[in-house]
Structure 1
Amino acid sequence: MLHVRSIWNGAISFGLVSIPIKLVNATESHSISFRQIHLEDGGRVRYRKVCELEDREISGSEIGKGYEDADGTIIPITDDDLAHLPLPTAKTIEIVAFVPADRIDPLQMDTAYYLAVGGAPAAKPYTLLREALKRSNKVAIAKFALRGRERLGMLRVVEDAIALHGLLWPDEVRTPQGVAPDTKVKVNDKELDLADALMDTLGEIDLDELHDEYREALEEVVAAKAAGESPPEAPEPPEGGKVLDLMAALEKSVQAAKQSRGGGKGEAEEHAEVRKLPQRKSARAAPKQTSGRKTAEGTKKKTAAKTTSAASTKSTAKKKPRKHPA
């Protein structure tokens, strides 16, 4: 088993069943971070904690917590005050319900964690909960405390492990009021058909194929600077314009998507001049197509002419006298 650093130790409360677990991070950040420096000499810029009343730097042992009231008054809150708060989930992930996964609004989704078993005896109840979640096709809603506050969470199965997603409390999610357009807009069927065509052309994608292009470009800049070289020049961004014709924009988007997926012609081909090439002479070349009646009549006349010519040739051959020897 891979040993990972846990950030919280406790237990899952599943009715009367208690499952010792360890909480580990399920995600990691690959973002490049910078340090603030003094431009003149490159020295690090650091912040010091200073008491604004005494105007002096203070140590960590002199720092506590305080709540700022509406009028600006600071109310000191001690660790003892917090220790006496009724918090039954301080060391427990308390399952309160099981619901279908689609009941959870993605807007509520927060940080993700893995729940690792806290010792060999926990393997049996851990597996029991995991298999029960699998068979029911449901997720567990739970309450737990982390970093000084009680949180809402969702337990679900990921491969052979149980994952815990932190959830925002319902009153922490804003409604979309005032976000949608104020005016009523009508969309016709042709526009919807083009939008559907664009969606079908883009299709599905393997998320593993997506990567952070900005971070990769930034890594190239850092590597070049570290080697004393000039950073690579960034490509010119495509010119953006206002969408004046929605239909034209949709059509071009479909063509561009087909081109990027290798299934269509590019914009250069769209505006290219088209010229007819001369046909090669071939015994099997098809006759030029003209309007229906003229073509049929012309074909009949040509066929009749060929038949007459052939017949005349045969007749001439028969009438030709045979030469006698002298």
Structure 2
Amino acid sequence: MEIDAFVAADDIDPIRIGEGYYLSPDGQVAAKPYKLLREALARSSKVAIAKYAWSGRERLGMLRVRGDAIVLHAMHWPDEIRDPTELLPEPVDVSEEEIKGALALMESMSRDDLEGDDFKDTYTEAMEKIIEAKREEKPLPEMPEPEKPGRVLDLMAALEESVSKAKASRGEDADIHELPKKKTAAKKTTAKKTTGKKQPAKKTTAAKKTTGHARRPRSA
């Protein structure tokens, strides 16, 4: 492995970073250089860019510190990264209220760690239960039906529902007040005709008109 440069970690686009592998020194002779590199990387807050051989070809890698160890991350070469321009949707307009709603959703889903049941490998656990059931010749465990996503017609309504679910799952008050509300258009009722029963020759028309009051948007 040959180190070519040291750069700030923030200067590397995460899309170029691949799987990570722990590096270990090759014998006691390499123990001191290994520790020296680890200490230098830790104090400089930088990462090392290196080239190494893997599966018969030259690879690009990034070295960083994790605890007392050095981790090697495989990196993609620049020409291996696809240009996303052709994958982007057609231009659309997003309102300020919708952006604030998205920020409210992010805030309700923020956390300090990635521990807990939400980040467990449920697929592996389910496979283990199936294997165990087959080994003991027991009925296979029933798998819950996944929720079928409906067609989202109102983005603000979808954001409100997502915030409500996020708060409810964390035991917080699920009542939503902070999301901005979209102005509702004034409602107008259709004019109704009333006809007297005893005087068929005469018709009286009563036009009724009701106007809804638009609610002002509330800031998040």
TM over 0.5: yes
Contact 1:99 1:140 (8 Å CA) reproduced: yes
Amino acid at match of 1:212: D
- Does residue 219 (structure 1) correspond to residue 121 (structure 2)? The answer is no
What residue number does 2:89 align with? 181
What residue number does 1:192 align with? 99
Task: Report the CA distance between 1:266 and its aligned residue.
Answer: 7.8
Q: 2:147 aligns with which of 226, 231, 238?
A: 238
Task: Report the CA distance between 1:168 and its aligned residue.
Answer: 1.0
Contact 1:259 1:266 (8 Å CA) reproduced: no
Amino acid at match of 1:172: E
What residue number does 2:28 align with? 120
Amino acid at match of 1:221: I
Amino acid at match of 1:107: I
Tell me the SS of whatever aligns to 1:117.
Answer: coil
Task: Report the CA distance between 1:147 and its aligned residue.
Answer: 1.4
Taking a change above 3 Å as real, the CA distance of residues 219 and 205 of structure 1, as seen in their structure-2 partners, is farther
Q: 1:253 aligns with which of 162, 175, 183?
A: 162
Task: Report the CA distance between 1:224 and its aligned residue.
Answer: 1.0
Q: Which has the larger radius of gyration?
A: 1
Q: Deviations over 1:158-190 (max 9, x none)?
A: 1111111111111111110211112x2111111
Amino acid at match of 1:186: D
Matches within 5 A, 1:11-90: none
Identity over aligned pairs, percent: 54
CA–CA distance in structure 1, aligned partners of residues 40 and 137 of structure 2: 59
TM-score calculated relative to the size of structure 2:
0.74
TM-score calculated relative to the size of structure 1:
0.51
What residue number does 2:203 align with? none
What residue number does 2:197 align with? none
Amino acid at match of 2:163: V
What residue number does 2:138 align with? 229
What residue number does 1:207 align with? 114
Q: Deviations over 1:93-140 (max 9, x none)?
A: 111111000121111112322211122222222221111111211111
Tell me the SS of whatever aligns to 1:177.
Answer: helix
Task: Report the CA distance between 1:227 and its aligned residue.
Answer: 0.9
CA–CA distance in structure 2, aligned partners of residues 239 and 113 of structure 1: 38
Contact 1:256 1:266 (8 Å CA) reproduced: no
What residue number does 2:75 align with? 167
Contact 1:198 1:253 (8 Å CA) reproduced: yes
Amino acid at match of 1:220: K
Amino acid at match of 1:232: P
Q: What number of residue pairs does the alignment pair up?
A: 174
Q: 2:172 aligns with which of 263, 270, 291?
A: 263
Structure 1: unaligned runs, 5 residues or longer: 1-92, 268-326
Tell me the SS of whatever aligns to 2:115.
Answer: helix
CA–CA distance in structure 1, aligned partners of residues 16 and 76 of structure 2: 5
Tell me the SS of whatever aligns to 2:92.
Answer: coil
CA–CA distance in structure 1, aligned partners of residues 143 and 37 of structure 2: 52
Higher relative contact order (CA 8 A, sep 6+): 2
Task: Report the CA distance between 1:144 and its aligned residue.
Answer: 0.7
The alignment's C-alpha RMSD in Å is 1.7
Taking a change above 3 Å as real, the CA distance of residues 190 and 146 of structure 1, as seen in their structure-2 partners, is same
Amino acid at match of 1:101: A
Structure 2: unaligned runs, 5 residues or longer: 177-220
